[in-house]
Amino acid sequence: MSRRFTLVGALVLSAVLAFALQKFIYEMVIIPLAYLWWVIGLYYRLVPQLLVWIVLIFAILFTGVRTLLMEIPVQRRTKLNSKSSAGPIEILSMLVQKQSRGIYYKWLIANRLGKVAREILDQREGQRLAQRFTRLVGRDWNPPNEVEAYLESGLNGSFADYPPSRWLRAQPTPLDEQPGAVVDYLESEMEIH
């Protein structure tokens, strides 16, 4: 019920204000809008119709072409990295420099060298051997015990097999072997066969 009284009251108040402010609204709103409309009409009549049509046609063409071009998928140019990616030798070199940081880097080197040893054996046997968790065996494959343990721990082991000890002195691991001795052995195997 109060909503109805509020609505009726607002309508009565707006009718009274409209009647009281009729002259003010006519002078401040209606006359300036009519003058603006008259000036726009003058400018419109001053411009030749041919020019108006040319501007309208260009506006329509511009809008249409822009819309069509937005629908065509554009391939973004990817910025090429100026730095070339590191090759396997460069990666191995970086790992050798980092091997003093811990067992993980030592294991990475052993893993890479173990994969090289597996490729040597694959080429020697003329077939692809099993890739995972198999011992390195093949014709004339007789590495020294330290080298064999190093390659096997890199291929078939994990760096987690040799956790660091905080309180005890670090126990020696097969990964403590210097990679240089392993590389020398692999080179000699490649030269022989």
What is the distance between the alpha carbons of residues 182 and 193, in angstroms, rounded to a whole number?
17
- For 108-160, how does the pLDDT look when each residue is reduced to its tens digit (9 = 90+)? 888 888 888 888 777 877 766 556 567 777 777 778 888 888 888 877 777 77
pLDDT tens digits, 62-93:
999 988 887 777 666 666 555 666 666 677 67
Q: What is the mean pLDDT of residues 1-13?
A: 88
Give me 102's structure tokens: 């811990």
The most confident of the ranges 29-33, 46-50, 151-155, 168-172 is 29-33
Residue 44 in tokens: 């419109």
* Residue 86, token pair as written in the block: 């590191």
pLDDT number for residue 10:
93
pTM (2 d.p.): 0.49
Structure tokens at 61: 């063409």
- Asked whether the predicted pLDDT for residue 58 surpasses 80, the reply is yes
DSSP 74: -
More confident of the two residues 41 and 134? 41
* Side chain identity at residue 132, one-letter code: R
Residue-level pLDDT at 156: 77
